[in-house]
């Protein structure tokens, strides 16, 4: 299975020049799809309720398509900023929503990755004054990351 099979409408991996650029392109596309409301997604990404319906060709100049492309660019910018400011392994754990768990945790604050993500969000919001698009995307990512950590909390 190739990356093109996973996200058939994402930019083709063959058009990118480096593995990092490919990974950033695919991740930004994935996050845009994951964090966009269903009715704001281009038709090709919506969950199909009727499997007998023939998929429509996208209209690249439609307003939804234009907004979606902007959304993908916002996620790309966020990922590139994270990669520039954090260690790559840590940044990719945040982007991929895969927190590192160093043993049993009883509260959300016991997870170092969650605390590091929160510190990064505060740094970008308060000290570096990131734009509203980045801050909104970071907030969405933070909530999703927190949910992943919460799934790993030891239940008594």
Instruction: Please compute the mean of the pLDDT values over residues 67-94 and round it to a whole number.
Output: 95
> In the structure encoding, which two tokens stand for residue 127, read together?
């000290």
Instruction: Please compute the mean of the pLDDT values over residues 66-86 and round it to a whole number.
Output: 95
pLDDT tens-place string over residues 9-62: 555 545 546 888 999 999 999 999 999 988 888 888 887 655 556 666 666 668
Instruction: Please compute the mean of the pLDDT values over residues 74-102 and round it to a whole number.
Output: 95
The alpha carbon of 122 is separated from its chain's Cα centroid by a whole number of angstroms, namely 18
Residue 69: the pLDDT is: 93
Specify the number of domains making up the chain: 2
pLDDT bin (cut points 50, 70, 90) of residue 3 is very low
Say how far apart CA 7 and CA 119 lie, in whole Å.
32
State whether 99 and 138 are in the same domain: yes
Measuring CA to CA, which residue among 70, 97, 102 is closest to residue 82? 97
Q: Which helix (H) or strand (E) element contains residue 119?
A: helix 112-122
The end-to-end CA distance of the chain, in Å, is 40
Give the range of the structural domain holding residue 96, as residue numbers without chain letter: 87-156
Q: State which of 85, 116, 134 marks the end of a domain.
A: 85
Say how far apart CA 15 and CA 13 lie, in whole Å.
5
State whether 54 and 93 are in the same domain: no
State whether 9 and 79 are in the same domain: yes
Higher pLDDT, residue 2 or 111: 111
State whether 1 and 61 are in the same domain: yes
Residue 95: the pLDDT is: 97
Half-sphere exposure of 31 toward its Cβ, with a 13 Å CA cutoff?
A: 31
Bridge partners (DSSP) listed for residue 127: none
Judged on CB neighbours under 10 Å (0-12, 13-18, 19+), 11 is middle
State whether 27 and 98 are in the same domain: no
pLDDT tens-place string over residues 98-152: 999 888 888 999 999 999 999 999 999 998 889 999 999 999 999 999 999 999 8
State whether 23 and 52 are in the same domain: yes
State whether 66 and 4 are in the same domain: yes
For the full predicted model, state whether its pTM sits above 0.85: no
Q: State which of 85, 116, 141 marks the end of a domain.
A: 85
Say how far apart CA 118 and CA 19 lie, in whole Å.
28
């Amino acid at each position: 299975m190739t990356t093109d099979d996973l996200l058939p409408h994402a930019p083709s991996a063959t058009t990118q020049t480096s593995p990092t650029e490919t990974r950033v392109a695919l991740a930004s596309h994935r996050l845009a799809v994951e964090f966009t409301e269903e009715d704001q997604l281009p038709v090709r990404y919506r969950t199909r309720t009727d499997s007998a319906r023939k998929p429509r060709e996208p209209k690249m100049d439609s307003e939804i398509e234009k907004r979606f492309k902007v959304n993908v660019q916002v996620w790309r910018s966020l990922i590139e900023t994270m990669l520039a400011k954090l260690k790559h392994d840590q940044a990719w754990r945040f982007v991929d929503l895969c927190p590192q768990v160093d043993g049993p945790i009883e509260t959300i604050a016991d997870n170092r990755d969650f605390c590091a993500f929160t510190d990064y969000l505060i740094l970008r919001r308060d000290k570096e004054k990131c734009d509203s698009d980045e801050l909104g995307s970071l907030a969405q990512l933070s909530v999703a990351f927190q949910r992943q950590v919460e799934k790993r909390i030891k239940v008594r």
